[in-house]
Amino acid sequence: MQDRLKFAAVGGGLVALFGVALGIGALVGDPTGSTPDHGAMTHTEQDAGLSDSRSGYTLGDLTAPADPNQAGALRFRIIGPDAMPVTRFTTQHDKKLHLIVVRSDTAGYRHVHPTMDDTGTWSIDWNWATPGTYRIFADFVPEQGPGDLVLSRTITVAGTAATQPLPPESRSATVDGYQVHMTGDLSTAGSELRFTVTRDGAPVTDLEPYLGAYAHLVALRANDLAYLHVHPMGEVGHTPAGPAVTFHAQAPSAGVYRLYLDFSHGGVVHTAEFTVRVELSTAPSTSNGGHHSGGAHS
């Protein structure tokens, strides 16, 4: 989206596992069914996407299958300041809206793109693989709105699930036969991160455009699912299509983060996952390139 940091901290998303299961067609929000006290939400939390409401816009009418391995649809609407569903959105990175879904233990990450009907209802075929509490981020730009927005809510899928431990810190990941190595450090001052993609030891130099870029990076702060979405420096057609993709990112705080790098090759989108630790830094950033988005895309 716009070239700025968008950090969406998922309130309670990572640490809130297993509330009361919601039935199909039930309104999804606070697992207790209570109405969030938006007045109590801090400005920072709203900027970070902790709330389901911001700047007069609300993520509402959220429904999804209640049980694992139950085919259905995930549906929701964006309600505007006039209390009516929003039907006009600005295209950002080839899509009107980006949907990020992840379980509270950072497992089950998905980046998908639902479609909207004439009533402003977004929907996508959906099937939960495992029980647990999930955080759903809607990342979008209303055509007549204040700019990039990220709204989020939680939904609990019935059943008992074993919480997966956070994977150890690592600068290398293997996915679908690809090896991805990260250099640089995610920092609170802003810094460059470079990901190099190889396959069977050979550099991948023909990465395919995915959502208008050669890769996309999502970072989630592990203790609360704080969300950061960053787009790479350079442009498709002007920047080499691999093996390296460079980002400029700035974490809002110290802590442990999970990184999800989406890239396309061979007609398939692959996601490499990393665990990194961010230390508090006061050194100023020396880079002025790249795209960041907190509460939305960059």
Domains (range + CATH), the chain: 7-157 (2.60.40.10), 172-293 (2.60.40.1220)
pLDDT tens per residue across span 120-131? 999 999 999 999
Identify the three-state secondary structure at position 12: coil
Question: What is the rounded CA–CA span in Å between residue 124 and residue 99?
Answer: 10
> How far from 144 is each of 76, 141, 148, 246, CA to CA, in Å?
20, 8, 11, 32
* Secondary structure element (H or E) that encloses residue 44, with its range: helix 43-47
Q: Please state the pTM of the whole predicted model.
A: 0.80
pLDDT tens per residue across span 155-201? 999 999 888 999 999 999 999 999 999 999 999 999 999 999 999 99
Question: What is the rounded CA–CA span in Å between residue 143 and residue 204?
Answer: 37
Cis peptide before 243 (omega within 30 of 0): yes
CA 157 to chain centre: 19
Query: What does residue 255 show for φ and ψ, rounded to 5 degrees?
Result: 145, -175
Give the pLDDT of residue 174.
98
Question: What is the rounded CA–CA span in Å between residue 218 and residue 137?
Answer: 12
Give the pLDDT of residue 264.
98
Residues of the chain with pLDDT under 50: 1-43, 285-293, 295-298
Amino acid at 61: D
Give the pLDDT of residue 227.
82
Give the pLDDT of residue 211.
94
